[in-house]
Amino acid sequence: MEEKHVSRAELDPVKLAIFDVDGTLARDDAMLSPATYQALGRLGESGITVVIATGRTRNASAEILNRAGVPGYVVSYNGALTMHHPTGRVLDISPLNRDLLSECWMLDSEHHLELTVFSDQKIYSRVDGEARRLLGIACNEEPVLIENLADIDRDPDHSVPLKAMFYRDAQYVDELRRVVLQRFPFAVQTLPEFIELANPHISKAHGLELILNDLGLTWSQTLGVGDSENDMQWLPKVGISLCPSNAYDCVKAICDYQIGSNDEDCVAAFIDSWLG
């Protein structure tokens, strides 16, 4: 896909802008640059509603809006929890079925995939491995080590499981996809080393629909940027769809425009060009 510039006329109807985080807003080190926070802040100040749609936790998602200094919405855990920020008003929460979570535990027992469980309160890791380290950095929260699923039930914070993630080093990604997708065909690859699943009846698109209804807007009034498989359900719906140059090929194929690389603050550059 050639990089083309979005025209001013196309941008005029946009009232709401949706941004994925990892591989899009975040650089390869999982961090957002000061330039990106500043650009999101300018966008919010211009009157555009900013939405963070990500697999990250509620707190990590809200912190992006906090640091940008703007109100907005977050669709976290790939759609399992949608809320307004900073009020904390929850539009929807969709737990991960307990039987499904037990199947995830069994699959991890068979293949040693460093299972991580995300709840509305905490992150839980089965082993102290690379997945725990990487997710701790991305979410700015150290995952709690557990020995069995009952440890989550006994947590005094009464956590509600929302998402499960499996990890393998990137060189073994084909094996990871084969093993996980054979058991859970609705799972999505969100990063080269991770495949994850939430309630199979929800997605980022589900959460975004709730936000549009809350604001009385339509998809034609939206713009969105994403890079991974968990963005493929909603990107075709937005008025203007964009992806970074590092996006998966399947995502590039469905987007209207391609902007620069996530590691070069492509979203910040796009917003700066948009606002002038």
Per-residue pLDDT of 94-132, as tens digits, reads 999 999 999 999 999 999 999 999 999 899 999 999 999
pLDDT of residue 4: 66
Going by C-alpha positions, the residue among 174, 202, 170, 175 that lies closest to residue 186 is: 202
The phi and psi torsions of 243 (rounded to 5 degrees) equal -145, 150
DSSP H or E segment with residue 102: helix 98-111
Q: Is the pLDDT of residue 165 over 80?
A: yes
pLDDT bucket at 2, cuts 50 / 70 / 90: low
pLDDT of residue 50: 99
Q: Is the pLDDT of residue 191 over 90?
A: no
Domain 98-198 falls in which CATH fold? 3.30.1240
Q: Which residue intervals of the chain bear CATH 3.40.50.1000?
A: 8-93+202-275
pLDDT of residue 1: 54
Are the C-beta atoms of residues 105 and 94 closer than 8 Å to each other? Answer: no
Signed CA dihedral, 11, 16, 20, 24: sign only: positive
pLDDT of residue 128: 97
Identity of the amino acid at 215 = L
* Predicted confidence (pLDDT) per residue in 29-88, tens digit: 999 999 999 999 999 999 999 999 999 999 999 999 999 999 999 999 999 999 999 999
Q: Is the pLDDT of residue 224 over 60?
A: yes
**3-state helix/strand/coil string of 154-206:** CCCCCCCEEEEEEECCHHHHHHHHHHHHHHCCCCEEEECCEEEEECCCCCHHH
pLDDT of residue 173: 87
pLDDT of residue 3: 60
Domain 8-93+202-275 falls in which CATH fold? Rossmann fold (3.40.50)
Angle 65-70-75 (CA atoms, 0-180°, nearest 5)?
45
pLDDT of residue 86: 97
Are the C-beta atoms of residues 91 and 211 closer than 8 Å to each other? Answer: yes
Going by C-alpha positions, the residue among 23, 244, 16 that lies closest to residue 32 is: 23
Q: Which residue intervals of the chain bear CATH 3.30.1240.10?
A: 98-198
DSSP H or E segment with residue 58: helix 58-68
Q: Is the pLDDT of residue 257 over 90?
A: yes
Order of strands across the sheet that contains 116-119: 144-145, 123-125, 116-119, 161-167, 194-198, 188-191
- What 8-state DSSP symbol labels residue 110? H
pLDDT of residue 267: 98
Going along 8-160, which residue ranges are E strands? 16-19, 49-53, 72-76, 81-85, 90-93, 116-119, 123-125, 144-145
